[in-house]
Structure 1
Amino acid sequence: MFLSRLSRHVKNQNWVAVVLDFIIVVAGIFVGLQVSNWSAKQQSIEIRNVYYQRLQADLKVDFDTISRRQQHFQQVMEYATTSLELLNSKDKVSQAEQWSKILALFQASQIWTFIPSSPTYSELQSTGSLNLIDQPKLLQALDLYYDNGSTQLNLVAGGSPEYRTHIRGKLPWNIQTYIWQYCHSRGAEHLDSQQLLDCKRDNFNRDYNQLITQLREDTKLKDNLRSWMSTIKITMELYKGLKEEIDNLNDLIEQQLPQSKLIGNKA
């Protein structure tokens, strides 16, 4: 229809009409491209916003996970402090206090690793979708948290401490199995859960002063315990720093989602 009308205008040498027809066509193409670009941009924004919300959900999981480990290592440090005082002392331990000291020696060796929940960030990387995030400050904060932060934590606290191997090689097996059964719990409601429990003295009716004396004479054991306590302290500082990074990430994401509700928790 357009071509026949254009041909008729050219045949009649109606150049004004020809020009108007071309203007209409060009304008139509321009408007169509603008609408297409706007639609594509809106779609990208919607996809990006979904990623932001998923990132917030992942960060909420990490915040709660770190909080549980902070409580855990605070308890482990208390057991470790009790154990170091015991090993440095020369006093005989009363029958009533022996079990709590033996329990402290074992529980001081407990660990709990942390791996960030990163399905969304990993998907952004693997699908080449990080370019959806057009805020350099947010991209830098994501890299700092998921790559540098977790790497630093694993370098410090990754693996099994020497004290853990050492004390578990010294304590009788029946004591260890008793502790695992009655003094430790893997929460039934949450897979990522463990509790160090106060428990009654074992029923072996044994005087542990001889064992305690042997452990006190083991200089390497005390060295390993002090080293492990230092690692715990650094680990606690790193956990605190990771939670601050989570808060910062949530704030940066919120700036991109002014209508959304903050998912992360403040420390």
Structure 2
Amino acid sequence: MLLRRITEHIKNQNWFAVFLDFVIVVLGVFIGIQVANWNEARFERKLSDQYLNSLSLDLQRDLQFSEALSDYYEEVLLHVIKTDELLNAKDAENLSLVVSAYRASEVGYSAPRISTWEQVVSSGHLGLLPQEVIDSGLSEYYEDNDSDKYSYNSLSASAYRKKVRSLIPLPVQLAIRTGCSDVFNDFGIVIGFTKQCEIDVPSELIDEAAANLKESSEVRFLVRFQYSLVYTLLNNISGNNVNIKKALNTIYAIFKDSE
């Protein structure tokens, strides 16, 4: 319709009408582009808010699990130190040595929720996140996942863990798992060890396990490196907690400013 009208105006040499038609066309194109840009910007803002909301939920969950793991590995580290002391003590109580040596070999892990972050990165939407969120420690947290998993794998496959669990008779290990093992909170997160141990096995088996540990020069050496492995993992977890809190505080501040 508009093209036909412009053609007629040109044939009639009605240049003023042609000019008006041209202005209408240009203005229409401009408005169309602006509306499209506005819709795209609104969509990107909405998507950005959705990403931030999902990331905050993921990070809250990760922080809850990570702080619990931090407490757990602090106890594991204490038992590593205690095991080293008991192995070098002349009058070490057998049950205490066996329990500490076993607990010093314990591991726990909670995989972080990375689905939202992976979606952001794989979709090429990293630019939709506010730069202050990325710089707050968020990218470092997710990028460090591989090193954290490596530290966990190193600990779970440590020579100390293998050696100690090969020296403690299986009935003793089963009894420890039953009456002297991990404590979980209401969310199923491991938070430490039970305070009161009930190890229902003959004392002869405890004495045998303790003797095996005391007589093994290898255990005495391996417990020292076990300390380094546990300390490294605990240090990584502590660093994660710092980055998670920084990222969450930044996201919360953005939500508050947008209210």
Give the structure-2-normalised TM-score.
0.86
Report the Cα distance in structure 2 between the residues aligned to 1:188 and 1:252, rounded to whole angstroms. Answer: 28
1:88-237 correspondence to structure 2 within 5 Å: 88-91=88-91, 93=93, 98-133=94-129, 135=131, 138=134, 141-147=137-143, 149-159=144-154, 160-185=157-182, 187=184, 189-193=186-190, 195-197=192-194, 198-206=196-204, 208-209=206-207, 211-237=209-235
Which amino acid is the alignment partner of residue 83 of structure 1?
T
Q: 1:111 to 1:20 in 2, by over 3 A?
A: same
Aligned residue for 2:32, secondary structure, equals helix
Tell me by how many angstroms 1:119 deviates. Answer: 0.7
4+ aligned runs moved over 6 Å, structure 1: none
Secondary structure of residue in 1 paired with 2:190: coil
Go from structure 1 to structure 2 and tell me whether the alpha carbon gap of 1:126 and 1:92 turns closer, same or farther (over 3 Å shift). Answer: closer
The 3 A distance-change label for structure 1 pair 192 and 123 is farther
CA 1:173–1:228: 2 relative to 1, 3 Å: same
CA positional deviation for 1:88: 0.6
* TM-score normalised per structure 1: 0.84
The residue type equivalent to 1:75 in the other structure is E
State the alpha-carbon separation in 1 of the partners of residues 114 and 53 from structure 2. Answer: 13
AA paired with 1:156? S
Gaps of 5+ in 2: none
Identity %: 26
Number of paired residues?
256
Cα separation, 2, equivalents of 1:78 and 1:121: 35
- Equivalent residue for 1:265? none
Q: Indicate the residue corresponding to 2:17 in structure 1.
A: 17
Q: In the alignment, is the contact (CA less than 8 A) between 1:254 and 1:260 conserved in 2?
A: no
| Structure 2 CA distance for aligned equivalents of residues 193 and 182 of structure 1 | 15
Q: Deviations over 1:210-238 (max 9, x none)?
A: 64344222111011111111221222221
Take 2:42 and 2:172, find their aligned partners in 1: how far apart are those partners? 63
Deviations 1:141-178 (A, max 9, x none): 4432212x222323334232211111110111111111
1:150 maps to a residue whose letter is N
Amino acid in the other structure paired with 1:238: N
Between structures 1 and 2, the one with greater helix share: 2
C-alpha RMSD of matched pairs (Å): 2.7
Describe the SS at the equivalent of 1:115: coil
Structure 2 contact 73–234 (Cα < 8 Å) conserved? yes
